[in-house]
Each structure stands twice: as C-alpha cells, then as structure tokens.
A and B are shown apart, each in its own frame.
Chain A
Amino acid sequence: MTDEKKPKKGGILSVFKDIVYGMSSHEMTRHAVRTRASMEHLFILITMGDLLGVPILPPYYSLRLLPYVTPQISSWKRRMLRERDITDVLG
C-alpha cells in the first residue's frame, strides 16, 4: 500500500481496491477469521480437554494432535479459564 516505487497508476488502483475491500468485505473477513478462531478453541477443547480436566478423546490419539496445536494452547487456556461478566454477553 505504501510502496512508492510502484507506478502511480498501479498505486491508485491498489489503493482503490483496498478501499473497496475495506468497505465491502473486510467486516465479513473479520467475522470469518473470528469464527474460525472460536472453532479452533472448541476443537482444542474437544481434543485436549484433559488439560483442563475434561477428558474426551482417548489420550493415545489426542497426543498425536498435540504438536499441531501446541502454539495455541496458552491462548486457548486463557480464553477458557478467564472470568466472564455481563460485558461479554453485551459485547
């Protein structure tokens, strides 16, 4: 977007495209990404529930999935264990 070396015409076109994207689909993309993140947390809960003391999938098999979700584990735990109040519902 801020790349000044690009030809001016391309620059204007690209800015225009970004504006259109921002107006039309940015909100939808954000929604898709957020839903995807919630599902990710649900998925980790189902497969790694043991980490919170909720055993669901047999541990032999959940261990196979563990390496793939390792980076998400701490954010997932924070989200699952945080306290909730009325603003969560309103927000």
Chain B
Amino acid sequence: MSLRTVFESQPDRRYIMFGGKGGLGKTTLSATCAFWLASQGKRVLLFSVDPQASLSDIFQKDIFGKGPVPIMQNLWAQEVDADRRIKEYQEEIRKKILDMYGFDRVPEEIDNYIAAASAEPAMEESAIFDAVVDIIVQGDYDYYIYDLVPLGHALYYLSMAKVYDEWINKITKLREDMRQYDQVAATMRREETMEEDKILGELIYIKERINASSRILTDKRQTAFFFVVVPEEMIILDTKKAAELFAKFDVPLSGYVVNRVLPPDLGAGRIPEYLRNRITMQQRYMKDIQSAFGAQILAYVPEMERDITGLPMIERLAKRLFEEGPKA
C-alpha cells in the first residue's frame, strides 16, 4: 500500500488529517498531500485552526484570518483566527440580547459573564471545532485537509464531545418536561396558543454541532487519519500510545508516514564518528518502526537538504511521496 493507492482506492475519504506530535512535519505532509490532490484535478481546501498555524510559512504567503486564499489551481489554504472568532461570537450574543429586549446596553452582570466565559480554556477548543464544522458545511471542495492542532487537543475534544452529548440530552429532557408543565397550565386556563420553545431549538442545534464536529474526526467512510512518525525512540513510543487512544475513540486510522529518514547513501565513504552514530541509531529505530507498524506504513519521507517551504519544494516532495511508493 502506498499513500497514492489509499487515495485512489477510497475516493469517499474526503476529510484528511495528519496527526502526530508537534514538529514532526504534519503541516509539510498536509501541504504535500493537498498539492498532489490539487494537481490531480481535485478541488482541495487545506485549513488550520491552530493559533500558531504554519500554513502561511510553508506557502510563504500571509493568509492568517483571511478566509480561503487561492494558492494554485484547485488549491486553497485557510488559517482560522480563533481569537477573532470568539470576539465576533461574543458581539453576536450581546447584539442578540439588545435586539430581543430592546435594551440600550447589556446589563452589567450579563456582560461580565460573557467576558468571563471567553477566558475559559474550553472556550477556545469549542470555538475551534465549531469553526471546523462551519468550514466543512459551507465549502464545496472535493477534499478537506485539516492541519490538526496537536493530538492532545483532538483527543480532549473527542472525549468532551461524548460528555457534552450526554449533558445536552439530559438538559433537553428537562426542557421537554418544562414544556409539559407549560402545556398543563395552558390547558387548564383554556389558553390555546403556546409559544414555541426557542431554547429547545437552540439545544437541538448545539447537539447537532457537537455531533457534527466529532463525526468529522470519526466517520469511517469519509475520514482518513494518518499518523506521522520519525525514527526516534520517544516519538515511536508516543505514537504507539496515541494510536491506542485514538482507537478507543474510534478514530479510523489509515496508516503511518515515516518522516525525516536519512538518505541511505549518506553512510557511504568516510564520515565523522558523530554522523555515523546517528545513522546507526536511526537504522535501529527504522527496524523498530517496521516491526511495530509494518504493512500500515504508507510512505518514507527523506530528510531533505533544505526546509520544505514554497511550492517548488512541496512539488518535489509530492513526487517523492506519491509517485515512488513506500521504500525505506
């Protein structure tokens, strides 16, 4: 199996994610994959919601907070400004309160609550995942490549999504019970019309949003999740652990990509002791990776002689990844 055959044999998998610890090359691989799909004539959106996003760096173009920016034919890139999104959301809530009750200003107590709520860490995660749902619901791309925030966040969100979902079910039930009491009182007073419960409507909306965002991460038919690993002891151990955790949350794992592989011909001839040791060490870890992940390894990405930034470098890597198949 190679990365190319994964894409060609499963054309339904439109949501593509590369996961792994920070600094392993997730953004590089996401960009390379986006480039290849776009060059195959697919419309691709590569997006990131990470506040420290590096799509601007890899494409050498400032795209932060600017919506989907065209990079080349069929390829768009987008970096979501989560802070700005939270601010706009707060404003929306304030405006709604003013409109609903005809206030001149939002009551101080309520306003303080709005300000305090935004300082909570869970706020950012929810806002980020809500932004992802918006991107996917609104766009009409063939592929969405999601340059993930580091794994911890995704797992945290998935675990929270389950809890939230149960909570919302309970709250919805309470709201429905309240509605019944309303109904009783209305019938006894022989009032016929009853206003629809807007809160109930909002709860159902919230539930759908939470489900939609966790579904994007766990939909076996449409989601492909790749792990990026490099031949280093700590990373291999962490990746194994992360893979187990992801399996628990039903994230469909599509395979592994091994990054930063030193070119084998580097060891030929006279080289300094230091370099030789590094090469021997890497060869040992390469064996570990092969025995741990075996047939699930889809590609080996060589350590290039310079950083991968700019389209020509991305194109070179795409050729190497998608046209030459997996080989160590």
The chain A residues found within 8 Å of chain B, CB to CB, are 21, 25, 28-29, 32-33, 35-36, 39-40, 42-43, 46-48, 50-51, 55-71, 73-74, 77
The stretch of B14-22, B55-63, B114-122, B280-288 in contact with A is B114-122
- Encoded as 1 (CB less than 8 Å from any A CB) or 0, chain B from 187 to 202 comes to 0110000000011001
CB atoms of B206 and A39 under 8 A apart: no
CB atoms of A36 and B185 under 8 A apart: yes
Closest to B178 in A: A39
Closest to A59 in B: B117
A39 to B197, CA, bound (A): 14
CB atoms of B117 and A70 under 8 A apart: no
Interface residues contributed by chain B, number (CB under 8 Å) = 42
**Interface status of B246 (Cβ within 8 A of chain A):** no
**Interface status of B97 (Cβ within 8 A of chain A):** yes
Chain B residues with CB under 8 A of A59:
117-118, 120, 122-123, 126
A57 to B107, CA, bound (A): 22
CB atoms of A43 and B178 under 8 A apart: yes
Which DSSP category, helix, strand, loop or mixed, fits chain A's interface?
Answer: helix
A40 to B175, CA, bound (A): 8
CB distance from B213 to the nearest CB of A (A): 11
Chain B residues with CB under 8 A of A25:
188
Closest to A51 in B: B113
Residue pairs across A and B with Cβ atoms less than 8 A apart, 19 shown, are A29-B184, A29-B185, A29-B189, A32-B184, A32-B188, A36-B181, A39-B174, A39-B177, A50-B117, A57-B171, A61-B164, A63-B93, A64-B202, A66-B97, A66-B110, A66-B113, A67-B93, A68-B202, A70-B101
Chain A residues with CB under 8 A of B116:
50
A47 to B181, CA, bound (A): 20
Chain A residues with CB under 8 A of B206:
61, 64
CB atoms of B117 and A63 under 8 A apart: yes
**Interface status of B130 (Cβ within 8 A of chain A):** yes
CB distance from A47 to the nearest CB of B (A): 7
Which DSSP category, helix, strand, loop or mixed, fits chain B's interface?
Answer: helix
Asked, given contacts A32-B188, A39-B181, whether A56 binds B167 with beta carbons under 8 Å apart, the answer is: yes
Chain B residues with CB under 8 A of A48:
113
Closest to A46 in B: B171
Chain B residues with CB under 8 A of A28:
184, 188
Q: Which of B107, B130, B181 contacts A32 (CB 8 A)?
A: B181
Chain B residues with CB under 8 A of A40:
178
- Other 8 A-B pairs with CB < 8 A, given A48-B113, A65-B202, A67-B96: A29-B185, A33-B185, A42-B174, A57-B164, A63-B90, A63-B93, A64-B206, A66-B114
A22 to B199, CA, bound (A): 32
Asked, given contacts A36-B182, A59-B120, A64-B93, whether A46 binds B174 with beta carbons under 8 Å apart, the answer is: yes
CB atoms of B110 and A70 under 8 A apart: yes
Chain A residues with CB under 8 A of B199:
43, 65, 68-69
Chain B residues with CB under 8 A of A69:
199
Chain A residues with CB under 8 A of B100:
67-68, 70
**Interface status of B89 (Cβ within 8 A of chain A):** yes
Closest to B127 in A: A60
Closest to B175 in A: A43
CB atoms of A58 and B123 under 8 A apart: yes
**Interface status of B279 (Cβ within 8 A of chain A):** no
CB atoms of B120 and A73 under 8 A apart: no
CB distance from A37 to the nearest CB of B (A): 9
Closest to A25 in B: B188
**Interface status of B155 (Cβ within 8 A of chain A):** no
A26 to B68, CA, bound (A): 61
